[in-house]
Amino acid sequence: MEPTALRLAEFLLLGVSAGAIGALTGIGGGLIITPVLTLVAGVPIHQAIGTSLCCVIATSSGAAANYVEHRLSDIRLGMTLELATTAGAVSGALVAGLMSREALAVLFSLLLLYASAAMIRRTLRDGETESSETQPYKVKRLPLGLVGSAGAGIVSGLLGIGGGPVKVPLMYLVMGVPFKVATATSNFMMGVTAAASAFIYYSRGDVRLLITAPIAIGAYVGANLGTHIMRRAASRWLVLLLASIMLYLAAVMIWKSLHGGFER
């Protein structure tokens, strides 16, 4: 069934929201797009993931240009980590075609739980996120960062999220990169990661143009909005709100997977 005009408008608004949140937090709009398409719009999860990956590319395109222009992204670090991430993304996308919808949904839900817990812990521990994006810093534990980036790529290919929920905590908590720099660098990286996986989903027919196009357009617009918010305001309340949404979505997706509620 082709989407109605109202549904296309809803997809556009979904893209704007996901793009803004993705650019603001550096975790990619896929955390919003995939579960909403699956739970609300009834899109099969493999198609939802393929669509999400394309929209992560749009989010990255909108956010990365702004962050690079304002010198928030660590280009050298991003390119180094991306070598490992891209290899992992291709592997994850290939494996995803062999997994059931229920297994993918449970895996995605576990990631939602992890990401939300990490964000809540960081926010409560540190209070407001860093107000200065130009603090001098030295990258630590690069070998561990490369291993973690490969894992982020596998997660991206499996779940269609751009790897941001792994990359941002990895850079911020493990490698000693300031939060805003980690966020901006993640946005710069995730488009490349998502593109590597999206091609495989597209070749399998898991990308529907009438769903992907309005969400991608909205994600690009929302990403530009998110970059302006991130540079000017503390994002603590947005992080806590997003974490709450992710906890709810994880619970619903686990329930549906256990009760066979996903479309075949």
Query: For residues 74 and 47, what is the distance between their CA atoms, to the nearest angstrom?
Result: 33
Residue 184 lies in a domain: yes
Please state the pTM of the whole predicted model: 0.76
Any domain includes 72 = yes
DSSP calls for 219-235 = HHHHHHHHHHHHHHS--
Is there a domain that residue 133 lies in?
yes
Number of compact structural domains in the chain: 1
Tell whether 10 is covered by a domain: yes
The CB density around residue 109, as the number of other CB atoms within 10 Å, is: 23
Name the band, by pLDDT with cuts 50, 70 and 90, for residue 134. low
Q: Is residue 263 domain-resident?
A: no
| 264 within some domain | no
Express each pLDDT in 219-246 by its tens digit: 999 988 888 887 776 656 766 776 787 7
Place of tokens 């296309």: 8
23 within domain boundaries = yes
Q: Domain range spanning residue 68?
A: 5-258
125 domain-assigned: yes
